[in-house]
Structure 1
Amino acid sequence: MTVQVVLVHGIRTSATMWRAQIAHLAERGIDAHALDLPGHGTRMGEDFTIDGAFETIDAAVREAARRGPVVLAAHSMGGLVSCEYVGAPEAPPVAAFVAASCTAVPRGPGLATYRALARRFDSLPDRGMRLTEMVLARTLPEETRDDFGAGGYAFDAQDIALRSLSVLDLTRALRRISVPTWFINGQFDQLRVNERLFRRLVPHAELIVVPRTSHLVTAMRPRVFNALLDLAIATVSPGADQPERTC
């Protein structure tokens, strides 16, 4: 049995955001599956629901677990949903967890402000695409610049998805995570707001803050993120020494 990697995208984007990681893992001979959540990518015509997101992640994880230990890696909204999934009362078959750009509790004024800004951005004549493309051109390396939008942008699912996040009980779920876990954030990531809380609730987790990097850490610093995936894979590879974890 060999290690399997399941990759969960963030809001508005799709499985294509993981192209650099898929290519890296393919070079190593590691099986990887980047999924599309409801309302995103190849599933743009569907409605986003939080239950549908959990079902999609669970189906991918359980299918991968038939072939080997699973490393689940997720970004932003996908990371928040995956935190709740990994910390479920009945632990899913996840051997290690890499959570990128998602150390924020989506509740209260913070979530309301984020939704208001997203709606304002979406109300622009081109739904903010000109500004989005300008920012990506200035911040992302050429090798990953087109990956976030290659599967299309899920504008219509954005507010529904953000609103759905309020039902997550992350403080309870995080306490139940016992597998090897890494939180990785860019230095200038807006979702670092509850970084200390996440570390306190998952005391065995490691926190990595990448200097001079934004929320899009997976694409802005793909080699750094790929190195972290390699570490997670090495940690759970058959025959590797497994540190004891406490719930």
Structure 2
Amino acid sequence: MTTTVVMVHGIRTSATMWRSQLAHLAERGVPAVAVDLPGHGTRMTEAFTLGGALATIDDAVRTAAANGRVLLVGHSMGGLVSTAYVGGEQKPPVDAFIAASCTAIPRGVGLATYRTLARGFDRLPGRGARIAEWVLDRTLPDETRADFGAGGYAYDAQDVALRSLSVLDLLAALRRIDVPTWFINGQYDQLRLNERLFVSLVPGSELIVVPRTSHLVTAMRPRVFNALLDLALATMDAQASAVTSSSR
């Protein structure tokens, strides 16, 4: 049975951040799609809303599910929204889930501090673009450096998107997730804060920490992340084979 991989980007970036993963999956003959959330990438002129983000994920997942199984992959903000989606009260047609760089509860002092820092950075000349580019130049490999910002940066959507995350009931969502799940973090990721809690709430889930890697694990260590995609796909294939064998 065909498995389609649906990928959801993080805040400010766009579907272009997944170029390395899309190329890898294409080489393997695995169908994949990377979406742009409202206010990001090709949809930069739209206003970001949480409902719009969830609808975007749902449309992509249901389109993919018409052809077989679905592996949903989300990074950072996209991972948090995808967690809420997979663990929604109405179970979506997702067969496995990778949540990357998103194991923190976006509420309280932590979220307020992050929003304050982001707003301060946004007030710098050029909205802090020179500093951001300097950091990316020194942390991302040549093979992914251009991809992260190729779709533009969603500066205008950033604060409203961060504020929207505070209404997510992630603890309830995590308790409802009943598909194979992998939480993937970089060793130096600032959003590792609640990783053990996240794993404890999803039975059978796995935590994978990638050494010498920051929050941008998909772009900083693309080959490692691609190997983890392969792991998830192989696990799904093995489980499908087991179900088929037991039904004979």
Specify if TM > 0.5. Answer: yes
Q: Give the distance between the partners of 1:170 and 1:158, measured in 2 at CA.
A: 20
Q: Which has the higher helix share?
A: 2
What letter matches 1:108 in structure 2?
Answer: G
Which residue matches 1:112? 112
> For residue 102 of structure 1, what is the amino acid of its counterpart?
C
Q: Equivalent residue for 2:71?
A: 71
The count of residues paired between Structure 1 and Structure 2 equals 242
Match of 1:236 in 2: 236
Aligned residue number for residue 175 of structure 1: 175
| Gapped regions of structure 2 (runs ≥ 5) | 244-248
1:25 is paired with a residue of what secondary structure? helix
Cα distance in 2 for partners of 1:57, 1:229 equals 19
Aligned to 2:203: 203
The CA deviation at 1:97 is 0.2
- Give the drift of 1:240: 3.0
Amino acid paired to 1:207: L
Pairing 1:54-203 to 2, within 5 Å after superposition: 54-203=54-203
Between 223-232 and 147-156, the greater mean CA deviation after superposition: 223-232
Aligned partners of 2:242 and 2:182: how far apart in 1? 17
Give the Cα separation in 2 of the matches to 1:46 and 1:241: 45
Deviation string, structure 1 residues 112-146 (Cα, Å, up to 9, x no partner): 00000110111111111111111111111100001
Q: Is the 8 A contact 2:13 2:41 kept in 1?
A: yes
1:245 aligned partner: none
Tell me which residue corresponds to 1:46: 46
In structure 1, C-alpha distance between the alignment counterparts of 2:184 and 2:56, rounded to whole Å: 23
Structure 1 residue 23: Cα displacement: 0.2
Cα distance in 1 for residues equivalent to 2:114 and 2:203: 28
Instruction: Check whether the contact 2:6–2:60 (CA below 8 A) recurs between aligned residues.
Output: yes
Secondary structure of 2:125 counterpart:
coil
Deviation at 1:237, TM superposition (A): 2.8
CA distance in 1, matches of 2:73, 2:109: 28
How far residue 215 of structure 1 moved from its aligned partner, in angstroms, is 0.1
User: Are 2:229 and 1:224 aligned?
Assistant: no
- Write the deviation string for residues 198-219 of structure 1: whole angstroms up to 9, x where unpaired: 0111131100001110000000
Contact 1:234–1:240 (Cα < 8 Å) also in 2: no
> Per the alignment, in what secondary structure is the counterpart of residue 143 of structure 1?
helix
Matched to 1:240, the amino acid is S
Residues 2 and 237 of structure 1 are in contact (CA less than 8 Å); yes or no, is this contact kept in structure 2?
Answer: no
State the shift of 1:234 in Å. 1.5
* In structure 1, distance between residues paired with 2:147 and 2:127: 19
Residue in 2 that maps onto 1:30: 30
Instruction: Supply the AA of the counterpart residue of 1:12.
Output: R
For normalisation by structure 1, the TM-score amounts to: 0.96
The one-letter amino acid of 1:109's match is V
For residues 142 and 134 of structure 1, the distance between their equivalents in structure 2, rounded to whole angstroms, comes to 14
Deviations along 1:1-42, one digit per CA (max 9) or x if unpaired, are 311000000000000000000000000001000000000000
Q: State the secondary structure of the residue aligned to 2:7.
A: strand
Query: How far apart are residue 168 of structure 1 and its match?
Result: 0.1
TM-score scaled by length of structure 2: 0.96
Q: Is residue 178–residue 203 contact of structure 2 (8 Å, CA) maintained in 1?
A: no
What CA distance in whole angstroms lies between the structure 1 residues aligned with 2:68 and 2:221? 28
User: SS of 2:126's equivalent?
Assistant: coil
Farther off after superposition, 198-207 or 158-167: 198-207
Question: In structure 2, what is the Cα distance between the partners aligned to 1:62 and 1:235?
Answer: 21
Q: Compute the RMSD of aligned alpha carbons.
A: 1.0
The one-letter code sitting in structure 1 at the alignment partner of 2:242 is: D
Shift of the alpha carbon at 1:173? Answer: 0.3
Distance 2:206 2:200 in 1: 11
CA distance in 2, matches of 1:164, 1:103: 17
SS at match of 2:82: helix
